[in-house]
Amino acid sequence: MDPVNCRGIILGSREYKEKDRLVSVLTPEMGLITVCAKGTAKPGSRNAFASVPFMIVDLVLTTSHGYYYLKDGSVVENNSGIMNNLEAMTVASHISECLKDSTYDAADARQAYELAVYAFYVLSCSPEKYLIVYSAFNWRLLTILGLTVEYVTCELTGAPVTRDGRYVLSPAGGSINESSAGMSGESVFALNYFAECDIKDLFAVKASENIINELKRFTTDYLSVQFDKEYNALATLDALNK
């Protein structure tokens, strides 16, 4: 069988046997695949790059009995800035975890791959934007998967959502109602922007600390409910920083 050529993002790897690794790779055409990289742990291995996460790579794969094996490869973008910043690395790891939890369907893979490319690039070049990247990624991925709604009107009153209003949003289904104790209208508008904007503009949002915290909290809750899994990367980061 002829080798398979593909481009992908390394989301992570784990040890396999003594010197090999199983590498999780997100590709735009095939979705999430697992590749066996033989000899990766050997000194001087030409496939050592396969054990480094967050890189965009070109791979040449062989197949045997339904499994992919790494024959050759090269790095397209190493996103090395991520590994030099704890906050960026934490958010990148969160992104990888979410993608591994959700991109089994190849139909969503192309958009998810493109989202990851931009997210890792911004984290590498501008790690100080890690909280905006975190929230924008969460909401855009959920949108790709068809799990979000556009917040236009309050469900109780039918009144349009306004920037100076305050609202309670349900992480279980996207309902929205007015409440003095809820999320700011600016944050609601930001969610709608994350869902609809050009992918190139997704991480260019500028917001106050209060809005950033509202988006961080709500997108984490929404993601956890929709995926039925607790995501606590930022809580762990906060504990480390303290």
213 and 122 belong to one structural domain? yes
**218 contacts 239 by C-beta, under 8 angstroms:** no
72 and 91 both lie in a single domain: no
Residues 174 and 128 in one domain: yes
Determine the Cα–Cα distance for residues 28 and 37; give it in Å rounded to an integer. Answer: 20
196 pLDDT more than 70: yes
Final residue belonging to a domain, choices 42, 77, 112 = 77
Residues 43 and 122 in one domain: no
Give me the percent of the chain exceeding a pLDDT of 90: 74
Mean pLDDT rounded to a whole number for the chain: 92
Instruction: Please give the residue range of the domain that contains residue 99.
Output: 80-241
On whether both 176 and 58 belong to a single domain, the answer is no
Based on the structure, what is the number of domains in the chain? 2
- What value does the mean pLDDT take over residues 61-89? 93
Whether the per-residue pLDDT at 61 is higher than 70: the answer is yes
- Residue 81 neighbours by CB under 8 Å, 6+ apart: 88, 123, 124, 125, 127
100 and 203 share one domain:
yes
Q: How many residues does the chain have?
A: 242
Model pLDDT for residues 118-150, shown as the tens digit of each residue: 999 999 999 999 999 999 999 999 999 999 999
- Residues 156-174 pLDDT 10s: 889 999 999 999 999 987 7
Identify the pLDDT of residue 107: 80
- Dihedral pair phi/psi, residue 171, rounded to 5°: -75, -10
Say if residue 105 is in the same domain as residue 185: yes
- CA 151 → CA 56, 170, 173, distances in Å? 35, 11, 12
Q: Kindly indicate the confidence band of residue 41, based on its pLDDT and cuts at 50, 70 and 90.
A: confident
Q: Which two tokens stand for residue 156?
A: 């109780």
- Verify that 93 and 25 share a domain, yes or no: no
Query: What tokens does 99 get?
Result: 């993608």
Q: What is the CATH number of the domain that holds 30?
A: 2.40.50.140
pLDDT tens for 213-241 read: 999 999 999 999 999 999 999 887 777 77
Instruction: Give the pairing type, strands 56-64 and 4-16.
Output: antiparallel
